[in-house]
Homo-oligomer: A and B are copies of this chain.
Amino acid sequence: MSWVVRPAEREDVPGILALAEHASPRLTNLPPDQRRLDQRVQASRRAFDIEQGPDAQACHMLVMADAHTGTLLGTASLRVKAGEGEAYYTYRQEQLIHASHQLDVRVEVPILALTHELSSSSLLCALALSPRLDDTQRLKAQRLLRRARLMMISQWPERFADRLTMALPGVIDDAGHSPFWNSVGKHFFGRDFQDINFQAGLESKSFIAEVMPPYPLYLSLLSDAARESLAHAHRTHHKALSDWYQEGFEDSGHVDILDGGPVLSARPSAVSVIKNGTWLPVTIAHQTTPTHRLLLAGQDLARYRCSMLDVAMSPAGQVVLTPEQASLLGVTAGVAVRAVLEDGL
């Protein structure tokens, strides 16, 4: 069974809607709303089509499908700028220093400062998977969607910022309550987390941040539960967190303004998919004995295809694809594909 990652198309909207509806916890940036998703897919399609490089508001929306059946199994997005033309707000964890010469002490006071300094970074976001995937498949799917996006950045670095950002869902209890929200945002908005999260998806999160009080939040005033949850990922995303670290991402020192979830960031040059990728020419053979597992993607952005394939290598260092594999990637003999060696096989 092969999976392929490709740009989302208009006819994928019903499938994406189903993915959005099943996302748990709900994703702020993937609202289960037909009209919004329709707009997003169209905007994404335009972003893929523009040759010169997209404008700052572009968001590339990808889907992962079963290569044989075409069934939609997941989606994930890649924003050129996290702020998408607006501002991308986060809380930056800082330490104020309060020093008293009278008492001869120096106290570090931890605060959260509302900031939009990550706005100009590129954002990996809106990952959702089909509920029909089992646990092993989910991990594999997350990996493919994660690396397929990084592969895009490695091929078209001029389109993206020199800082990559991604946020993981924060801690939410079984009743859907976010301890961080309950201790912070709820007091400002008087609404439940799910309400505002839904609204943030429809409107814009920047807009919500802009009506939050701009003062630093003293961490010591938050509830114990909120402080403990700070920068912790939702329990269903613990594995994802360590995977992102392994990919070369690190803790950015920022957290999400709504749920306090961790925000990771990386310089592209530190990301393994980007560092370790290479160009390989393609040959096509009907009979091959796979020797390598490679993440592969063609050079055509508008028809971007990325997949993890078991392939052979020719003595001259070409990647040997079956006709089906070549067709899946949309490549022909002689062209170069971007390749990263995967573990396994």
Q: Is A87 an interface residue (CB 8 A)?
A: yes
**Whole-angstrom distance between the Cβ of A20 and the nearest chain B Cβ:** 26
- Contact with A97, one of B94, B98, B101, B116 (Cβ below 8 angstroms): B116
**Whole-angstrom distance between the Cβ of A286 and the nearest chain B Cβ:** 48
Q: Is A99 an interface residue (CB 8 A)?
A: yes
**Cβ contact within 8 Å between A99 and B207:** yes
Chain B residues with CB under 8 A of A96: 214
Main secondary structure of the interface of A (DSSP, over half): mixed
* A115 to B97 alpha-carbon distance, docked (Å): 9
**Whole-angstrom distance between the Cβ of A86 and the nearest chain B Cβ:** 8
**Chain B residue at minimum C-beta to C-beta distance from A98:** B210
- Contact with A210, one of B94, B99, B117, B207 (Cβ below 8 angstroms): B99
**Chain B residue at minimum C-beta to C-beta distance from A85:** B106
Count residues of chain A with CB under 8 A from any CB of chain B.
Answer: 16
Contact code string A78-107 (vs B, CB < 8 Å = 1, else 0) = 000000001100000010111101000010
Chain B residues with CB under 8 A of A117: 94
**Cβ contact within 8 Å between A101 and B214:** no
* A210 to B97 alpha-carbon distance, docked (Å): 8
**Chain B residue at minimum C-beta to C-beta distance from A92:** B117
**Whole-angstrom distance between the Cβ of A138 and the nearest chain B Cβ:** 36
Chain B residues with CB under 8 A of A210: 97-99
Chain B residues with CB under 8 A of A94: 115, 117
**Whole-angstrom distance between the Cβ of A55 and the nearest chain B Cβ:** 17
* A87 to B94 alpha-carbon distance, docked (Å): 13
**Chain B residue at minimum C-beta to C-beta distance from A108:** B87
- Residues of chain A from 98 to 151 with CB closer than 8 A to chain B in the complex: 98-99, 101, 106, 115-117
Contact code string A204-219 (vs B, CB < 8 Å = 1, else 0) = 0011001000100000
Chain B residues with CB under 8 A of A116: 97
* A115 to B113 alpha-carbon distance, docked (Å): 12
* A106 to B119 alpha-carbon distance, docked (Å): 15
- Contact with A207, one of B98, B101, B206 (Cβ below 8 angstroms): B101
**Whole-angstrom distance between the Cβ of A296 and the nearest chain B Cβ:** 31
**Whole-angstrom distance between the Cβ of A273 and the nearest chain B Cβ:** 21
* A37 to B305 alpha-carbon distance, docked (Å): 65
Chain B residues with CB under 8 A of A106: 86
**Whole-angstrom distance between the Cβ of A247 and the nearest chain B Cβ:** 21
* A206 to B94 alpha-carbon distance, docked (Å): 17
Chain B residues with CB under 8 A of A101: 207
* A87 to B116 alpha-carbon distance, docked (Å): 24
* A247 to B125 alpha-carbon distance, docked (Å): 37
**Chain B residue at minimum C-beta to C-beta distance from A203:** B101
Chain B residues with CB under 8 A of A207: 99, 101
**Chain B residue at minimum C-beta to C-beta distance from A209:** B97
**Whole-angstrom distance between the Cβ of A110 and the nearest chain B Cβ:** 13
**Chain B residue at minimum C-beta to C-beta distance from A83:** B97
* A117 to B116 alpha-carbon distance, docked (Å): 17
Could you pull out 12 A-B pairs where Cβ atoms are within 8 angstroms? A86-B106, A87-B97, A94-B115, A94-B117, A96-B214, A97-B116, A97-B210, A98-B210, A99-B206, A99-B207, A99-B210, A101-B207
> 10 shortest A-B CB distances, which residue pairs?
A99-B210, A87-B97, A97-B116, A97-B210, A96-B214, A101-B207, A99-B207, A98-B210, A94-B117, A99-B206
